[in-house]
Homo-oligomer: A and B are copies of this chain.
């Protein structure tokens, strides 16, 4: 349930409502808006009796929320959210470009690629230091060493850093070194990790599991938001289907679907969906045309020798072409 306060409600009135909610055994999360504050009631398993709330000073109305997610919903937050990190605004109209290798392999490799993608127009550098790998015998990433390289990349290039956290200890480290914490598709159902990300100081890039419905994905975002971190960027990266022409089937309908029900920005990773580099440029164009707020693309200066988990990275020249091609496609 949502308690909507009047436009001129005072902070004291908001606090009184929260106290009353806590007295009922629930938790009240205030969500300040441009004009007025709403208070989201969290922790109830059934209908809430709002009679004690309606009579409080400053309360305009109560709204019953039917979906299982609330904080990430447009019902509670009608305007799209822009996430600002440094000079970059994600969700503000201009698509943001995140590019880089699958894995951080060395300082030289990371810097080489970072300088190159920056020149092409990328604003955020991606690269894995902790890699969730299907086989325990595959390369698992450089760990904190990789994070230090990423921090150096930021210092030298000015690019922001997004990199994946895969468990409690890596999340704490990524929160310290990076600018955006990525939760990968395989961890979208890892609710403990989501909760922990809800206490992190950095925005979270939450990939859709390859087996998740839109509702389950938004519920995962709700896990993060309900712990206090409302800066969540969603990322579609393909779902698992019978179709075998691509690694996964990129579900571009997810973009308008998410935007209809949620205020969160949503970007697209065409590299993990396609698998093959030949499809990355057309799918990037499709993603921007359907309304994605940005792209997350694998680029490597030497793709044939990249440590890559079955995906083909773009050549830098292809990334140049991609940047050129998507110009003018966004609204």
Copies in the complex: 4
Are A286's CB and B252's CB within 8 A?
Answer: yes
Write the chain B residue with the least CB distance to A188: B186
Asked if A133 is at the interface (CB within 8 A of a chain B CB), the reply is yes
A301-331: CB near B (< 8 Å → 1, else 0) gives: 0000000000000000000000000001100
Please count how many residues in chain A sit with their CB below 8 Å of the partner chain's CB atoms: 72
- A209 / chain B contacts, CB cutoff of 8 Å: 211
Among A216, A241, A285, A289, residue most surrounded by chain B Cβ atoms (within 10 Å): A289
Within 8 A of B (CB), among A1-46: 29, 40, 42-45
Are B290's CB and A285's CB within 8 A?
Answer: yes
Asked if A168 is at the interface (CB within 8 A of a chain B CB), the reply is yes
Asked if A226 is at the interface (CB within 8 A of a chain B CB), the reply is yes
A129-170: CB near B (< 8 Å → 1, else 0) gives: 000111111110000000000000000000000000011101
- Which residues of A does B touch, CB under 8 Å? 29, 40, 42-45, 68-70, 132-139, 166-168, 170, 186-187, 189-193, 195, 209-211, 213-214, 216, 219, 222-223, 226, 239-246, 249-257, 260, 273-274, 278-279, 282-283, 285-291, 328-329
Minimum CB–CB distance from A253 to chain B (whole Å) comes to 5
- A244 / chain B contacts, CB cutoff of 8 Å: 213-214
Write the chain B residue with the least CB distance to A208: B243
Write the chain B residue with the least CB distance to A261: B245
- A137 / chain B contacts, CB cutoff of 8 Å: 29, 40, 42-45, 68, 70, 226
A240-B242, A255-B282 given; name 5 further pairs at CB < 8 Å: A68-B137, A136-B219, A241-B251, A243-B251, A253-B283
Are A253's CB and B274's CB within 8 A?
Answer: yes
Are B282's CB and A291's CB within 8 A?
Answer: yes
CA distance A213 to B283 in the complex (A): 18
| 8 Å CB contact of A242 from B68, B211, B223, B253 | B211
Are B191's CB and A133's CB within 8 A?
Answer: yes
Are B289's CB and A136's CB within 8 A?
Answer: no
- A69 / chain B contacts, CB cutoff of 8 Å: 135
Are A68's CB and B329's CB within 8 A?
Answer: no
CA distance A213 to B289 in the complex (A): 25
Minimum CB–CB distance from A237 to chain B (whole Å) comes to 13
14 residue pairs of the A-B complex, CB under 8 angstroms, read A42-B137, A134-B219, A167-B190, A167-B192, A186-B191, A239-B243, A240-B242, A241-B251, A245-B257, A249-B253, A252-B252, A253-B274, A253-B279, A257-B279
Contacts A45-B137, A239-B241; A189 near B132 (Cβ below 8 A): yes
Are A136's CB and B257's CB within 8 A?
Answer: no
Write the chain B residue with the least CB distance to A191: B132
Among A139, A190, A193, A213, residue most surrounded by chain B Cβ atoms (within 10 Å): A190
- A193 / chain B contacts, CB cutoff of 8 Å: 167, 190
Minimum CB–CB distance from A206 to chain B (whole Å) comes to 14
| 8 Å CB contact of A216 from B134, B226, B253, B289 | B134
